[in-house]
Amino acid sequence: MINLILFGPPGSGKGTQAAKIIEKYTLIHISTGDLFRYEMSHDTPLGMQAKEYIGKGELVPDSITIGMLRNKVESHPEAKGFIFDGFPRTIPQAEALDALLTGMETSISALIALEVQDEEIIKRIMLRGETSGRPDDSDESIIRNRIEVYNSETAPVFDYYKQQNKSYSINGIGTIEEIFDHISEVLDDL
């Protein structure tokens, strides 16, 4: 199994690259942000809980996010591997993911971080907001909060997997193809 974490700040291109990776490698793409947006659009209890946090650019509490992720992974017993996009966002989420995969007799193969500077991220997300319909993409103060939360709570996950020699850093500026080529080089060496 190849189990990949696509890592990086909001707007760094994780979703775009995940779509290309699953074309080339047979992996199941799990975006916790997309799962939350699905729940919110259907006004489910989970969606209504998540909305309170997402609307402010905060993280949904670990217990909720980890439970949702676990259900999704367990619904794919046939999977040859997974791409985790937007998860784990905290150290407890990383520990829970490792425990879940250990229970399946597998583990994370690599974490690939897309590096993009803050001002570029803000430009990209504001542009995405014009068409994404996401309220959290359309307000600069919410975007800045998402970046702050990323720096304080999520960035440590890079070091957590670095200690396991699994973290790779890739320049997230360039064409979609150039960035994908760099990701492929990492994956083909695993």
| Choice among 56, 128, 144, 162 that is catalytic | 128
- Length of the chain measured in residues: 190
Q: Does 89 bind ligand C5P (CB under 6 A)?
A: yes
Q: Does 15 bind Mg ion (CB under 5 A)?
A: yes
Binding flags for ligand C5P, 42-81, as an x/- string (CB under 6 A): -----------xx--xxxx----x----------------
153 close to 89: Cβ distance less than 8 angstroms: yes
14 catalytic residue (yes or no):
yes
Q: How far is CA 60 from CA 47, 49, 138, 172, 180, in A?
A: 11, 8, 19, 26, 29
Which residue has the CB atom at the shortest distance from Mg ion?
Answer: 15
Which residue has the CB atom at the shortest distance from ligand C5P?
Answer: 33
- List Cβ neighbours of 7 (8 Å cut-off, separation of 6 or more): 14, 111, 112, 113, 114, 157, 158
Q: Does 33 bind ligand C5P (CB under 6 A)?
A: yes
Catalytic residue list: 14, 89, 128, 134, 146
Binding site for ligand C5P (CB under 6 A): 10, 32-33, 36, 53-54, 57-60, 65, 86-87, 89, 136, 146
